[in-house]
Structure 1
Amino acid sequence: MKRRISMILVGSLLLTSFNNAKADWVKDYQGKWEYFSNDDSLSNFYSGKPNEFVKPVKLPQYYQADTRWGFKRYGISNMKETGCVPTALSMIISGLKENVTPVQVADYIYDTSMEMNMTFSGTSSYGAEIALSYWNLNYRTINSKESLELALKKGNIVYGAVGHGIFVKGYSTHAVVLSGYEGGKTHAIDPDNPERTNKWYSINDIWNQRSMAPEDNVTGGAFIVVYK
């Protein structure tokens, strides 16, 4: 008996499934293949079942302009002006793994890659993944609003790069941290603006304002779910 094989290209991921023995093969942007069985497929790797109300994950609040590190220079800029990514990541790492400062994260990305303030202002999504890997955290790129909402409903933390709108005025981009869910909204931590941080915002609005900058999408998308 022949088995039908279906192949679906989603962003930079190639999914292959068999109708008799469902499984997913995933090829990431680095060309590495990973296998997901029924118990660990792409649609189920998040822990727990979806909920209609999820409390935000408790994280420290850091600001990139903090006088302790705001004027520390990396390449063509400094933490105050372009340090949103390492600052956002430091909050996630501190909440899930160990206490780290924005400078510790920025130092690692800058010292081990070309992804922070070298050929462009800011830090790419690849630079973000370099830091997450170093601190032994798992991560997956999110390719749809539905996947973003599912990740939040299941209690995960999401790193996001956004453009003009709620968090950015103009043509620059910015990194925020999302967690929690209630009525189509999520709780956002902003590493730059005290007036915008620790508030609930529409997931639809945040998704529609996702960054389209190439450096924020080099890993396949502007949103990354992070988990232990």
Structure 2
Amino acid sequence: MKKIIGATIIFSLVFSISAEVKAEWLKDQQGKWVYYENISNQLSYGNNKLVVQPIKLPQYYQADARWGNKRYGISNLRITGCVPTSLAMVISGLVKDVTPVQVADYIYDTTLEMNTTFMGTSSIGACDAITYWGLRYQVIASKEDLIAALKDGKIVYGAVGHGLFVKGYSTHAIILSGYDHGKTKAIDPDNMEKTNRWYSVDDIWNERSLELEDNAVGGPFMAVYK
């Protein structure tokens, strides 16, 4: 998703990683306080199904020749477009067909959360796009919440670090859907060999991003739905 450049950048983002406290008032890159509605209803733990079919979504790749070289600030979609590309797949699957360019244009033109002081898009920028297209989100605070969301049939947007999907020190956005005996299906916007495969929920949770930009709304994973 992004790699911090230059010297260490200090961010004045207010966030929470507690399951008890939900981040609602946040400072954006301009230092402006913005209210983010983090869905009031809680994820249900009552679903004991061992198999839940994934939601069918289109497959987009950030390096697609149609848009990969389009530049936004300090980088382009091919290098740092995993967030808008992932969200374009979710929005197209749940609301209407949109391209990664449309999502990237919205985030870049209306916020400073994409390719400004860092490469990539923060979770604040992701939430802006989610709500703009009429969807809601629930920040996931624990592995149990992640499993509950998947068992409830929700799509999960996630930011992950080094491991299954990232080789190095950057972070990356993926989409999760479905549940099958401890595994979930991941859609990767950057790797044809890794996308649309089933992975251990434990492994994905253990590789969640710890970067501030990815946790700015309270965590790196969010259930997304109508």
Shared fold by TM > 0.5? yes
Indicate how the Cα distance of structure 1 residues 49 and 106 shifts in structure 2: closer, same or farther if over 3 A, else same: same
1:71 aligned to 2:69?
yes
Tell me which amino acid in the other structure corresponds to 1:115. Answer: E
Assess if the C-alpha contact under 8 Å between 1:145 and 1:207 holds in 2.
yes
Deviation at 1:49, TM superposition (A): 3.4
Identity, in percent, stands at 62
**Higher RCO structure (Cα 8 Å, ≥6 apart):** 2
How many positions carry a matched residue from both structures?
203
Considering only aligned residues, what root-mean-square deviation do their CA atoms show, in Å?
2.0
After superposition, the Cα gap between the structure-2 partners of 1:53 and 1:34, relative to the gap in structure 1 and judged at 3 Å, is closer
8 Å contact kept, 1:56–1:180: yes
User: What's 1:11 paired with?
Assistant: 17
Counterpart of 1:22 in structure 2 is: none
Q: How does 1:1-228 map to 2 (within 5 A)?
A: 11=17, 14=20, 28-30=24-26, 40=41, 42-44=42-44, 49-228=47-226
SS of the counterpart of 2:58? coil
- How many angstroms apart in 2 are the aligned matches of 1:186 and 1:116? 28
CA distances 1:115-165 after superposition (whole Å, capped 9, x unpaired): 000110000000000000100101011010000011001111000000000
> Deviation at 1:11?
2.6
TM-score by length of 2: 0.84
**Cα 1:74–1:27 shift into 2, 3 Å:** closer
- What SS does the corresponding residue of 1:186 show, helix, strand or coil? strand
Cα distance between partner residues in 2 of 1:106 and 1:35: 24
Name the structure with the higher strand share: 1
Q: State the 1:69 CA deviation.
A: 0.1
1:166-202 per-residue CA deviation (whole Å, 9 max, x = no partner) reads: 0000000000000000010000000000000000000
1:28 Cα deviation (Å)? 2.5
SS at 2:121 equivalent: coil
Contact 2:39 2:138 in 1 (8 A): no
Q: How many angstroms does 1:13 deviate by?
A: 6.1
CA distance change for structure 1 residues 154 and 69 in 2, over 3 Å: closer, same or farther? same
* Cα distance change, pair 93–134 in 1 and its aligned pair in 2 (3 A): same
2:209 counterpart letter in structure 1? S
Q: What 5-or-longer segments of structure 1 have no aligned partner?
A: 1-9, 16-25
Q: 1:27 to 1:115 in 2, by over 3 A?
A: closer
Q: Matched residues in 2 for 1:176 and 1:34: separation?
A: 20
Instruction: Render the CA deviation track for 1:26-73: whole Å, top value 9, x for unaligned.
Output: 66344678895xxx4x243x9x83421011100000000000000000
Amino acid at match of 1:110: Y
Q: 1:205 to 1:13 in 2, by over 3 A?
A: closer
Task: Provide the C-alpha distance between the structure 2 equivalents of 1:34 and 1:69, rounded to a whole number of angstroms.
Answer: 31
Whichever residue aligns with residue 206 of structure 2, its letter is N
TM-score (normalizing by structure 1): 0.84
